Structure 1
Amino acid sequence: MKAGTEHWASRLAALADEAGVPGASLALWYGGEPHEWATGVLHAGTGAPVRTDSLFQIGSVTKVWTATQVMLLAERGRLALDTPVADVLPDFRVRDPEATAALTPRHLLTHTSGIDGDLFLDTGRGDDCLREYVRACAGLEQTFPVGDAHSYCNSGYVVAGRMVEHLTGVTWDRALREQICEPLGLTHTWTLPEDVLRFGAAVGHDEDGAVVPVWGLPRSVGPAGLICARAADVAAFARAHLTPGPLLDDPAALWQPQVTLANPHGGGRQWGLGWSLDEWDGHQVLSHTGDTIGQHAALWVLPGLGTVVVALVNGGRSAEFQHRLITELLAELHGVTVPAALAPPAGPVTVDVDGLTGVYERAGCRILVTASDDGAGLRLQTRPTGMLVGLARPRTLDLVAVDATTFVGRADAGSTWDAVVFERRADGRRYLHHSGRATPKVR
């Protein structure tokens, strides 16, 4: 590496300190060699240090692993991506019978199923927890028709994980070990707390550095976000997607664009099968991020350069930390310029906001959009509904126009800007795209 190991150990510590991150682990595959660094503490109360073999919750980065499990079964002829899910799981159904008949594994892996994506239902610690979760999906509503839009869907990945169980005959946790961990020799990748506790494990902290009161998510949402791993294991998993053979015969099939995003400002312009897809400075970028209760993960892969970067943290201003880290790393390693995060323009943009105001709603969330006091911008207020009351927190964002349909807002002066995109379809339907979700306008 150009700047050397000591330089990046120092920069990791400095970037973590500047973003209020209690502890961080960084793994890099570059130039055909692995590199690892760690800084800070696993727990602010105990002061236990982060080591390169410490385990962090990788959250939704787990979805790339689940997509890989499904693709392994597809390559072996056990399922087809465009076969109805109900043909694979006879007891699967959602509230809309037409959606039940139409949903395929491809819809699940590309977040285009349209079903309520945030069913965080605890169905217990038993080996039947995914089966019971899928039975509970019978009450899930459609946010939009199957295949009509992209909207981040945790529920769909749990269903995908249950398909893996049904076709392998073992629990998702065991299938993960047999399909991926053991073939790749991953010794520090686990899903159950009793296994994670055998290693040094991080606990989550909020943005102010306080330890969170709950350690992890319920087992029932495992395929959507329950893997705990050291950074080097995540890098090894991603590296196996760079060439045919270590896992998949055709890993590039996961990178093929499946859907173009209406809001391309949250991490990617398109979505593949499990991967978010983008292009930075002329280079293809595969990525995924993950957020659990006070822990955050980011995985970036540049196939053309053969480089993998994994950053795991346990609190603080994670988005700020991640963006600064990858920006510095890729500039130093490859001279690649990472696009700046979307922010307000230098001068005010005049927009007719009348057609944008109103109520947008999906299962679990109601969004009220009103004109700002001066009439030049918008105010967005999100309120959790139904099962998410008490789990998700209300938010209010004052939005600044970037163009006629794109706005940015942030919760406070120190946070990063969130992008909000308003979409009007040719048939008159309207959607609000924010935080990966598509929310239809209801009035």
Structure 2
Amino acid sequence: MRKPFLAALALSLVVACAGPAWGEGPATTPTPAAIDGYLREAFDSTGLPGMSAVVTHGDRIVHATGLGREASGRSVTADTPMRVASVSKSFTAAAIMTLVDEGRVALDQPVATYLPEFRMADPRAGRVTVRQLLNQTSGLSDRTVDIGATQRARTLAGYVAALRHGTLAGEPGAHWEYCNVNYDVAARLVEVVDGRDFTDAMRDRVFGRLGMGASAVGDRVVRPLDGFVSVYGAWVPRTELPGFRGGGAGGVVTTASDMGRWLISQTGYGPQVLTPASLAVLHEPSPGTDYAMGWGEEVLEGRKLLVHSGNLFTYTAVQAVDPATGFGFAVMTNSASLHDDTYDILLGLVALTDGRRPTAPGGGRQMTELALALTALVAFGLGILGVLRSGRWARRRAGRAWWWTALRLVGVLVPAAVLATYTQWVSFLMNGRAVTWAQMTYFPAPLTITLAVAAAAGLATATARLARLRSVGSTK
């Protein structure tokens, strides 16, 4: 999932054909030493707690590495499990396409053809096609389904059942809207058609075929995957926010080494899970959009790439493939903050393949959170000053019309009003995506704390002024 204060989901386009079709372009292959040197510099400048990354070219992994530490204290390596959040969507789409290749699923058939349990309080849901799920043009929306109920589900069957009382936000196929529900329904479709648990189906249909032995769906890994959140520049260990993580929208756990194998397959090289025709469909945006099936189109460093990013509340990831040159890139971190450093680091890796020396990213997170910390300190100071000067304020306004006094109090109460509607306006900024208070205590913690301090300062000032005003009035 994308965080509310980050750039919108990265998108890209590719044209694929038979064989290793993405030829050598003008880019150059950087040496492992050059990649490693840049990543170490980027790691130091961003101050991340832990990071892993991989660069591929054609049929080989050029370099895969890990830096920093896990929450448990272990060193991060190229084989450290990482949650990749919405990067998972491209894997789920690939699983669906394996069923298409086998003739067991047709993209333009209604989902209900294969998944009769997919029913909603909206007759249009019966017309949603498999292609529309993967292209995110189904009409499903966080605004019209009970996201809380889906997150309380313990199985994909329970997840789909939680949609029964929901509706569509529009006609199927009419417009694009990013919604995780699309891919969790797609995961349930894989389960039903394949006849196995989604985790097992993914292992055999995608991970196993590519030799991704360390990859899985959900929390079936060898050790806990606690991550970090940044609070005013300090990394604080946190357990990932509870919720349903066994689906197709964001459940994949993988490593830099395994991501290398995946990226190679996405360029048409190495072992394949799909036919060339299905790989092309996987990467082709739906008409009128730049989103394909877990991939989309974005221009980075002057080049058109396949890109998809992912964000949970303690993990961040991004993957990209360059169709012109056959390069693949992935950057993963065991942390989350208001600023997405993985995307900046990816830009540097792309620049390296152009033969340019990138400037190490960094400072975005630190500067953003420093500004918020200073804002909180100023708000705290103004709150103390407002309380101390409340007597003088009351004496100046004693005897004036009540509406004039009330108007003068409105300004200090604005932060409290904003805090009271915090989740609503964040949801609005995210185009209606569901937001909870628990989520606001993770990566947005610096903003949440700053807003809470400002609200408390305003309330304290308003309370003191009203008390003093009453006292002044009673003495007259």
Name the TM-score, length of structure 1 as normaliser.
Answer: 0.70
Counterpart residue identity of residue 17, structure 1: D
Cα offset, 1:148, TM superposition: 2.3
Q: Secondary structure at the match of 2:42?
A: helix
1:345 — aligned with what? none
Cα offset, 1:255, TM superposition: 1.3
For the residues of structure 2 that align with 1:21 and 1:281, how far apart are their CA atoms?
23
Cα offset, 1:217, TM superposition: 5.1
1:81 — aligned with what? 107
For the residues of structure 2 that align with 1:386 and 1:330, how far apart are their CA atoms?
31
Counterpart residue identity of residue 57, structure 1: R
Question: CA offsets per residue over residues 3-61 of structure 1, 9 Å max, x none?
Answer: 64344333323322322311100111126431112111111xx4321111101100011
1:109 is the counterpart of 2:134: yes
Alignment root-mean-square deviation, CA: 3.5
2:248 — aligned with what? 223
Contact 1:19–1:317, Cα closer than 8 Å, also in 2 = no
2:324 — aligned with what? 304
Question: CA offsets per residue over residues 237-275 of structure 1, 9 Å max, x none?
Answer: 1221222761100212211121444xxxxxxxx011221
For the residues of structure 2 that align with 1:328 and 1:258, how far apart are their CA atoms?
29
Cα offset, 1:323, TM superposition: 3.4
Q: Secondary structure at the match of 1:223?
A: coil
Aligned equivalent of 1:203, options 215, 218, 227: 227
Alignment of 1:57-136 (within 5 A): 57-97=83-123, 99-117=124-142, 119=147, 121-123=150-152, 125=154, 129-136=155-162
1:274 is the counterpart of 2:294: yes
For the residues of structure 1 that align with 2:51 and 2:101, how far apart are their CA atoms?
36
Cα 1:181–1:217 shift into 2, 3 Å: farther
Aligned equivalent of 2:44, options 17, 37, 50: 17
1:26 — aligned with what? 53
Higher relative contact order (CA 8 A, sep 6+): 2
Contact 1:31–1:306, Cα closer than 8 Å, also in 2 = yes
Cα offset, 1:392, TM superposition: 4.3
Cα 1:210–1:187 shift into 2, 3 Å: same
Alignment of 1:125-204 (within 5 A): 125=154, 129-193=155-219, 195-198=220-223, 201=225, 203-204=227-228
For the residues of structure 2 that align with 1:386 and 1:286, how far apart are their CA atoms?
24
Report the count of equivalent residues: 349
User: Which structure has the larger Rg?
Assistant: 2
Contact 1:150–1:259, Cα closer than 8 Å, also in 2 = no
Contact 2:160–2:185, Cα closer than 8 Å, also in 1 = yes
Cα offset, 1:229, TM superposition: 0.7
Cα offset, 1:317, TM superposition: 4.8
1:389 is the counterpart of 2:433: no
Q: Secondary structure at the match of 1:272?
A: coil
Q: Secondary structure at the match of 2:93?
A: helix
Cα 1:254–1:233 shift into 2, 3 Å: same
Cα 1:169–1:384 shift into 2, 3 Å: same
Consecutive unaligned residues of structure 2, counting only runs of 5 or more, are 1-27, 362-421, 442-446, 449-476
> Which has more strand, going by share of residues?
1
Alignment of 1:375-386 (within 5 A): 382=429
For the residues of structure 1 that align with 2:431 and 2:328, how far apart are their CA atoms?
36
1:256 — aligned with what? 284
Consecutive unaligned residues of structure 1, counting only runs of 5 or more, are 262-269, 341-363, 369-379, 395-410, 413-443
